[in-house]
Amino acid sequence: MSDSEEEQVKQAPIIKPHQKQQKDFYAEQLQANEEADSQAPLLVVVQGPKGSGKTTLIKSLVKHYTGQKIKKLVGPVTVRSNKQHRVTFIECPSDINAMSDLSKVADLALILIDASIGFEMETFEYLSLLNNHGFPNVMGVLTHIDFFKDNKQLRKTRKKYKKRFEYETGGNYKLFYLQALKNEYYLKQDIHNLARFISIIKIAPVRWKTEHPFILADRYEQGKDNTTTFYGYVRGCTYRLNDRIHFVGQGDYYIDSFEEVLDPVEIITTQKKHRSLKDTEKLVYAPMSSVGALTIDATAGYITIPQPIFTEKNKFVNNEEQDDEEIEEQEQEQELPEGVRMVRELQQLTEGIDKQLEEEEDAQLLEGFELEEDQPIKKKNNQQQIQQQRELVRLKNRVNIKIENGTVMPISDTLLATDLHELIYQNKNGINEFDSVRYIPKVSDRDSYKEIKELFVTGFYGQNDVVDLENLEKQIEVEEQEQEEQEQEQEKKDNNQKDDSQNQKDNQQQRQQLVNELTSSNLGLYKKGTYVKIVIKDFSSSIKDDYPMILARSEVGEDNLGFIKIRIKKHRWHSNILKSNDPIIISLGWRRFQTIPIYCVQDPNDRLRFIKYTPEYEYCYAIFYGNFAPQGTGLVCTQSLSNKLSKFRIAATGIVLEMNHQFDVMKKLKLVGEPFKVIKNTAFIKGMFNSSLEVAKFQGGLIKTVSGLRGHIKKPSKLGPDGSFRATFEDKIQMSDLVFCRTWVRMHIERFYRLITSNVKLMKTMWELRQEKQIPLEFKPESTYQDQERVPVKFAPLRIPNNLQQNLPFESKEKVKSLSFRERLRQQVEKNLPVKSNMTDKEKEVYSLIQRLNTIKNEKEKKREQKDINKQKIKEAQFKGQKQHLEEGKRKYKQQKQKDKFIKQVKKQQQQQ
């Protein structure tokens, strides 16, 4: 990793506004966690690219918790991790819909990263989905580590991945390493560590979930006449019964029935010394997948019997000995243990158990195991009991309520709850006699109110008119004692601040009790963590088993449709910018839908100005028609639902700002016209409008020429073509001027909304349509840039009239007088005329003499100069000649010398010879 990248990693991640909100909210939640003791199973979403080992991880974890093996993993798996704690695992498919749905509901996301490949697209997509749907707890898991044989390289990659993961998640999140596989499971120690972290994790409350209850269905049953039954835990927050439910990814449905049923993985409340779970208490609940040999389908349960790997004794024996063997077999069968015999009988079955069961009555598979699962437990009995009680009480206390003068008056101090409750909610006829008026109390005697003196501050003192002195003293003593006690208490409080926290705890407990009471008193409230059964009628769409089934309550106001203004930013990894009026798929709240947004920016005067495309690295606003969701809800946009991973699928992310039934998004419009008649400051302009009616609408409007002369539209004129009008300007305009009228047009926002369901037909984007129909991009030649030929303009010279010139201040006056044409002409003529001399004769003589003398002098100087030049020439020639001569001499001398030398040498040689 280079230095620059490291720097990037060190940078603190930017906290986005909705994250900040989340942070504040987190603090708030920690302060008052009302529903602390009723916990739904921790929802752990296992996400990763294909082949990263998601299924293996879930299988290993389930094996760790319960010792059971899952053969085929489908749907959520709930296990009991300890007495108070349950965990649900669900595998996340790499389908973008499932990913976005599961990012909304996850309590903890286990993100698997294949170490042999590195970070893949899905991981980043899922992280940004999590980021925008409220960040839950995240844990990275690095698998396929055995790919690296070299230890040093392994360490390096680990470090690199860890840093990158921390950067992407904003730090503080663990990255786990899973070593090699062993017998198709991860190593025991690794899984043990991971499980420990899962069990001690503190769940970060996500705002969306704490306000929106939902049910992640464990299993479903499709019965006759289109009724479908779903089972699952209530999660998020307390579920308030409603007539409708939203099946995420399918649509809204009316609920037929909604009731609490037996919890398959109950919390163990009995307190015993043993902290750990017994083997019998270790439970796994995975109705859709096959655990061990048992599979429960939508319609029936199956027991899988593996291929027989054993052989019955004596099966392969000679036919001859058969008779004897038969006898022996019979004997042996009697001897066989009961279990073995039963299995063998099962193997030899010809008709299924269900048929056998039809024949027999009161058949039981195993003792203590009840086939019927949807028993509304205890509740029914309770309800009956309560009703009986109520009736009894009502009979007894019939006189307790009196209806009189438009009010219900309790006669005794304690008004009976049951009666009033019934009066309000069960009596359908109603007491509906008046339009709303104020209540006027019936007044009786003045004396009859004497008894309420004690309801006043002063009343306590007026109870006894005559007070005995002894009593007074006693009272004073008592008061003093009380005061002392109070002081002591205060001291205690000061000393022990723990008391406050104790009080808070007590308060919380009280509140908790209240919540419990309310949820158990049959007001249509279901605490989170209750296992419920929901029956939906006319459920027509098909269900995919591997797809998460999320049933969410449709909240008040949130199933309404209207225009939503959001702050949106194109995702930095998405390859292209988004276009206004191009359909887009938005995942907002529980719903995913296709809609047609338009993008805009806000001008300083709060005008929403239309823009054609989203800016590349900047936030802008978008307005679309969709489901309302509370302000501050995050949303994610995608352009298609295809599972092709050719590019980053998340197109943009945003946050809800405002909802309304109309938004004024304006687009700039410049109307152009040209004058056809100019009279002083008035001009007649054509070509801007098409009819006089249009002109009438714009009367008094501001117009402007290119040079900046401002004006008003006055009235339509009869001169010129239809739609021409009279206008006045602040100055006379030129005939060659163009006149603009700057206006704003309101943009139409499409009311297009299509919920994404499993069999939805999506609207095509412009690009897709062009691709399909082979329509080329529209080309307008006049819209392209063209070379402009510009003829240089010759302007007449500036001339300032004399009058004006005189009145100018000195600064601006012409310093050198400019001449008029006549003056200049005269000057020229004068220039050409012979100059008249005004010298006297004597002066002339002198002048001519001097002239002549000068001529002589000049002549002489000329001659002298000539002479000098000649001399110089001669000198130079001489010098040249001398030089030549000298060099020649030198050369000759050298030659002579060489000659002499040669001769000498020759002579020497001769002598030697």
Partner 1 sequence: MISFQQVINFREILLCSTLSERAVKIEFQQYPGPHLQTMLKLLQLIQTGCKIDVNTKGIIYIPGIITNQDGMLQTYNCGVERSISYYLEILLILSLFGKAPLNIELNGITNDQTDQSVDSIINAYIPLIKKFCPDWDVSLKVTRRGFLAGTGTIILHSKPIKQIQATTIIERGPICKIRGVCSGSKVAPNLLNRVVSQCRNVFNDYIPDVWIHTDLQKSQKGIEFQNGYAVSLVAESTNGLFISCDCEYSNDLNNPEKVGETAALRLLDEIKNCGCFDTTQQQFALLMMAISQRKVSQIKLGRISTHTIETLRIIRSIFGVTFNIEDSVFSCIGCGLMNLSRQTQ
Map residue 536 onto helix, strand or coil. strand
Residue 64, both tokens: 């760790």
- Shortest separation between residue 472's beta carbon and partner 1, angstroms: 22
> Which of the residues 457 through 486 are near partner 1 (CB under 8 A)?
457-460
Closer to partner 1 by CB, 417 or 846: give it.
Answer: 417
Dihedral of CA atoms 566, 571, 572, 576 in degrees, nearest 10, equals -110
Give the C-alpha separation, 250 to 542, whole Å: 9
Binding flag, residue 408, partner 1 (CB under 8 A): yes
Burial (CB count <10 Å: 0-12, 13-18, 19+), residue 623:
buried
Contact in structure between 377 and 261 (CB atoms under 8 Å): yes
Q: What is the C-alpha separation between 878 and 870, in angstroms, rounded? A: 12
Answer yes or no: are the C-beta atoms of 581 and 750 closer than 8 Å.
Answer: yes
Neighbours of 864 (CB within 10 A): 10
Q: Is 555 among the residues that bind partner 1 (CB under 8 A)?
A: yes
Q: Smallest gap, in angstroms, from Cβ of residue 425 to partner 1? A: 7
CA–CA distances in Å: residue 373 to residues 318, 370, 376: 51, 7, 9
Closer to partner 1 by Cβ: residue 427 or 495:
427
* CB count in 10 Å sphere of residue 29: 16
Rounded Cα distance, 815 and 376, in Å: 111
Q: How far is the CB of 601 from partner 1 (least distance, A)?
A: 14
Q: Does 424 bind partner 1 (CB under 8 A)?
A: yes
| Comparison of 627 and 705: residue with beta carbon closer to partner 1 | 627
CA nearest to 740, candidates 698, 782, 785, 693: 698
Residue 370, burial from CB neighbour count under 10 angstroms (0-12, 13-18, 19+)? exposed
Residue type, 206: V
Per rule CB under 8 A, is residue 719 in the interface with partner 1?
no
Cα separation, 158 vs 1, in Å, equals: 12
**In this chain, which of 311, 414, 774, 828 binds partner 1, going by CB under 8 A?**
414
At closest approach, how far in Å is the CB of 511 from partner 1? 6
The SS3 assignment for 596 reads coil
**Which residue from 200, 399, 556, 679 is in contact with partner 1, where contact means CB under 8 A?**
556
Between the CA of residue 689 and those of 721, 730, 745, 823, what are the distances in Å? 10, 22, 15, 55
Tell whether residue 400 is a contact of partner 1 (CB under 8 A): no
- State in angstroms the smallest separation of the CB of 404 from partner 1: 9
The packing angle between helices 188-200 and 54-66, to 10°, is 80
Exposed/middle/buried for 641, CB within 10 Å: 0-12, 13-18, 19+?
A: middle
User: Cβ(252)–Cβ(591) under 8 Å?
Assistant: no
521 binds partner 1 per the rule CB under 8 A: yes
| Closer of 466 and 556 to partner 1 (Cβ) | 556
Q: State which residue, 517 or 545, has the beta carbon closest to partner 1.
A: 517
Residue 15 touching partner 1 (CB under 8 A): no
* Binding range to partner 1, per CB under 8 A, among 6-14, 266-274, 276-284, 417-425: 417-425
* Cα–Cα distance for residue pair 101/754, rounded to 1 Å: 17
In whole angstroms, what is the distance from residue 249 CA to residue 729 CA? 62
Which is closer to partner 1, CB of 303 or CB of 386?
386
Judged by CB under 8 A, the chain residues 178 through 217 that form the site for partner 1 are 210-211
Residues 6+ apart with CB under 8 A from 98: 92, 547, 548
Shortest approach of partner 1 to residue 251 CB, angstroms? 18
Query: With respect to partner 1, which residue has the nearer C-beta, 166 or 256?
Result: 256
DSSP 8-class letter at 579: B
In the shown chain, the binding pattern of residues 628 to 647 toward partner 1, with x for contact by CB under 8 A and - for none, equals: x-xxx---------------
Smallest separation (angstroms) from partner 1 to the CB of 722: 37
Q: Considering only residues 197, 449, 461, 879, which one is a binding residue for partner 1 as defined by CB under 8 A?
A: 449
Interface of this chain with partner 1, residues 426 to 445, rule: CB under 8 A: 430-444
Q: How many Cα atoms occupy the beta-carbon half-sphere of 877 within 13 Å?
A: 6
User: Contact with partner 1 (CB under 8 A): which of 268, 525, 645, 666?
Assistant: 525
CA distance 481 to 826: 129
Candidates 562, 687, 701, 720; binder of partner 1 (CB under 8 A) is 562
Closest CB 457 distance from partner 1, rounded Å = 4
Is residue 800 involved in binding partner 1 (CB under 8 A)? no
Residue closer to partner 1, measured from CB, 454 or 477? 454
Q: With contacts defined by CB under 8 A, how many residues of the chain interact with partner 1? A: 74
573 CB neighbour count, 10 Å cutoff: 14
x/- string (CB under 8 A) for partner 1, residues 217-246? --------------------xx-xxx----
From residue 642 to residue 681, what is the string marking binding to partner 1 with x (rule CB under 8 A)? ---------------xxxxxx-------------------
- Residues 454, 469: Cα–Cα separation, whole Å: 22
412 belongs to the binding site for partner 1 (CB under 8 A): no
Instruction: Point out which span in 174-182, 249-257, 556-564, 803-811 binds partner 1 (CB under 8 A).
Output: 556-564
- Interface residue with partner 1, options 294, 305, 340, 409 (CB under 8 A): 409
Q: Which x/- pattern over 600-629 shows residues binding partner 1 (rule: CB under 8 A)? A: ----------------------------x-
Smallest distance from the beta carbon of 758 to partner 1, in angstroms?
28
